[in-house]
């Protein structure tokens, strides 16, 4: 009887030991695969974070590549000088509205823009050029309107550039005029040197700005179609001017 009880106790002890071993093994098994799952999740998160960071770096690089580009937009006239007037519109208001619109378009592309005036104020030619030169602008575009009362059917945009350094200025002008014709439907009257009165005499802005510059006559204020394109259809025309500017900057390796 005594031996029989000892046998049963040994048997129970062995069974308990086996159960403990199985439980321990099961715990180790669960811990191992849980660790593998957590590790995999962390790795995935790290990869996602890496991709996100790479995207941020790329965005930052794009920002840096355009951050150093500065375009000076000059809204002609202003203040007491209303400029040309026709059909109830003044040149000074048209040029300011267009300058602000072009600035917005270029800013959206990461291009820094300085304006020679942001409101209806008097600004001298000297002050306009000083704004451009102080900002170390890459290019300067002066926006104006044209007029021809003798024949209101005359229309189109044209530019005036420096008489002795025309290469880059001519290319900038061509890009803008081409874009105005293609995208805004404004006739391209071509690139001209000097002034209206004298082809050998430069406008002050072209003569004294340190960067490539052009004066853009966006159309004839006396022509109903041109006037509509710089007022009612201002957004489309502003986009065309901005596109012409960026096309030039890309060709020049600046953008």
**61-68: long-range pairs with CB below 8 Å, 24+:** 62/110, 63/110, 65/255, 66/109, 66/110, 66/111, 66/255, 67/110, 67/112
| Position 36 confidence tier, pLDDT thresholds 50, 70, 90 | very low
Cβ pair 161, 193 in contact under 8 A: yes
Pairwise CA distance, residues 176 & 231, whole Å: 18
- What the block records as the tokens of 220 is 């004839």
Query: pTM, whole model, 2 decimals?
Result: 0.75
* Average pLDDT rounded to a whole number, residues 57-79: 71
Pairwise CA distance, residues 8 & 11, whole Å: 5
Pairwise CA distance, residues 224 & 191, whole Å: 23
Between 12-26, 140-154, 203-217, 228-242, the lowest mean confidence (pLDDT) is in 12-26
The more confident residue out of 253 and 13 is 253
* Average pLDDT rounded to a whole number, residues 148-158: 97
Residue 31 pLDDT? 55
DSSP-based three-state secondary structure for 212: strand
Between 32-46, 114-128, 145-159, the lowest mean confidence (pLDDT) is in 32-46
Backbone angles phi, psi at 153, to 5 degrees: -80, -15
- What the block records as the tokens of 35 is 């660790």
| Position 65 confidence tier, pLDDT thresholds 50, 70, 90 | very low
The more confident residue out of 49 and 125 is 125
Q: What is the mean pLDDT of the chain?
A: 84
Cβ pair 179, 249 in contact under 8 A: no
The more confident residue out of 53 and 81 is 81
Question: Is residue 219's pLDDT more than 70?
Answer: yes
Handedness of CA 155, 161, 167, 171 (dihedral sign): negative
Question: Is residue 137's pLDDT more than 80?
Answer: yes
Residue 47 pLDDT? 34
Angle in degrees, CA 104, 108, 113, rounded to 5:
55
* Average pLDDT rounded to a whole number, residues 69-87: 97
* Average pLDDT rounded to a whole number, residues 179-183: 98
CA distances, 6 to each of 24, 32, 160 (Å) = 27, 39, 117
Cβ pair 174, 95 in contact under 8 A: no
| Position 30 confidence tier, pLDDT thresholds 50, 70, 90 | low
């Amino acid at each position: 009887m005594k031996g029989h009880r000892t046998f049963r106790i040994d048997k129970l002890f062995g069974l308990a030991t086996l159960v403990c071993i199985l439980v321990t093994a099961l715990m180790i098994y669960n811990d191992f695969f849980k660790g593998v799952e957590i590790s995999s999740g962390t790795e995935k998160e790290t990869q996602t974070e890496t991709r996100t960071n790479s995207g941020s770096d790329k965005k930052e690089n794009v920002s840096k590549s355009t951050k150093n580009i500065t375009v000076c937009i000059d809204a002609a006239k202003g203040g007491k000088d209303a400029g040309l007037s026709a059909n109830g519109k003044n040149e000074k208001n048209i040029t300011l509205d267009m300058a602000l619109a072009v600035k917005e378009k270029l800013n959206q592309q990461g291009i820094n823009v300085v304006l020679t005036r942001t409101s209806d104020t008097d600004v001298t030619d000297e002050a306009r050029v000083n704004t451009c030169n102080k900002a170390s602008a890459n290019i300067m575009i002066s926006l104006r309107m044209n007029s021809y009362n003798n024949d209101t059917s005359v229309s189109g945009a044209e530019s005036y550039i420096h008489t002795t350094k025309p290469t880059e200025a001519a290319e900038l002008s061509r890009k803008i005029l081409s874009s105005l014709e293609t995208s805004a439907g404004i006739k391209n009257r071509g690139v001209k040197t000097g002034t209206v009165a004298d082809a050998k005499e430069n406008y002050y802005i072209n003569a004294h700005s340190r960067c490539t510059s052009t004066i853009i006559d966006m159309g004839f204020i006396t022509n109903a179609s041109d006037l509509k394109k710089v007022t009612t259809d201002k957004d489309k025309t502003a986009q065309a001017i901005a596109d012409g500017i960026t096309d030039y900057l890309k060709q020049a390796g600046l953008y």
